[in-house]
Amino acid sequence: MEYPDIIYGKEGHIATITLNRPERMNAFSIVMIDSIQRALQDADADDEIRVIVVTGAGRGFCAGLDLKEPPDFRRGFAGQGEVQAPPLPLIALSIDKPIIASINGPAIGWGLELALLCDIRIAAENARIGDRHVNYSVIADNGGLFLLPRLVGWAKACEISFTGQLMDGKEAERIGLVNRAVPPEQLEAITREMGNTIANQPPLAIQLTKRAMRDGLNSDLKTSQECAIALFRQLVGSEDFGEAMKALVEGREPHFKGP
């Protein structure tokens, strides 16, 4: 299967999606968005994959929508006379497998939104991050306005969205927008270390933990607890739980197989 404008590969239990338009700082094309969506769905369906990494080729993560090749907003993405955002946010946020953004350079506008759709964000200290939608008299439309206040709080989300100003990776770490800001030369290795650490955990437990946390954001405590108990019972009956208990008794590291 071809994936134009991205490099999609798998190594061990990790799938990596690399935006591959370095000459345009990996600015989104409509073709690229389709490729990202299909790669995410492929990784989600592959039982061997436990972690997904999203990054960019060259000096940028994603500079946003490519304004030299903008879509016809008057006709909309679906060509039905109204603007319809691509389904990328719904696809990304429906995946139970952990998604890590490795932010190697500018993540602006749609680029920031792509990073927000990931569960963990690791950024280069010198990466430039922000949302400039308001500069063009439009609003973020790929999940950013839903996710940003949940990550950094209402006031900081307003500041980021209203001013259009950019921050570096260190500031993004300080406000909780990214998990870690690291020296650029260490970004790939630290991302890989994080991915492997998660991939070595029992995959079903990781996936159900993510699902329970995600659903809990839009639920009440009673419903969330009922969901957690149901998932807990499911995990207790899994082979990986049995392996964990056996390894504990035998004093060795467990070997998890997943679903």
The tens digit of pLDDT for each residue in 167-187 reads 999 999 999 999 999 999 999
Token pair of 80, please? 């039905």
Domains in the chain, CATH or no CATH each: 6-199 (3.90.226.10), 203-250 (1.10.12)
What's the pLDDT at 158? 97
Q: How confident is the model at residue 73 (pLDDT cuts 50, 70, 90)?
A: low
Distance CA 62, CA 25 (A): 6
φ/ψ of 30, rounded to 5, equals -65, -35
Residue 65: is its pLDDT beyond 50? yes
Specify the long-range contacts of residues 70-76, CB closer than 8 Å, at least 24 apart: 71/30
What's the pLDDT at 83? 52
What's the pLDDT at 77? 47
Distance CA 17, CA 101 (A): 10
Distance CA 95, CA 17 (A): 15
What's the pLDDT at 255? 87
Using alpha carbons only, give the angle 13, 251, 205 rounded to the nearest 5 degrees. Answer: 40
The tens digit of pLDDT for each residue in 218-254 reads 899 999 999 999 999 989 888 889 889 988 898 888 8
Closest CA to 181 of 251, 227, 224, 128: 128
pTM: 0.91
- Return mean pLDDT, the chain: 92
Report which residue type is found at 49.
I
Residue 72: is its pLDDT beyond 90? no
Q: How confident is the model at residue 119 (pLDDT cuts 50, 70, 90)?
A: very high
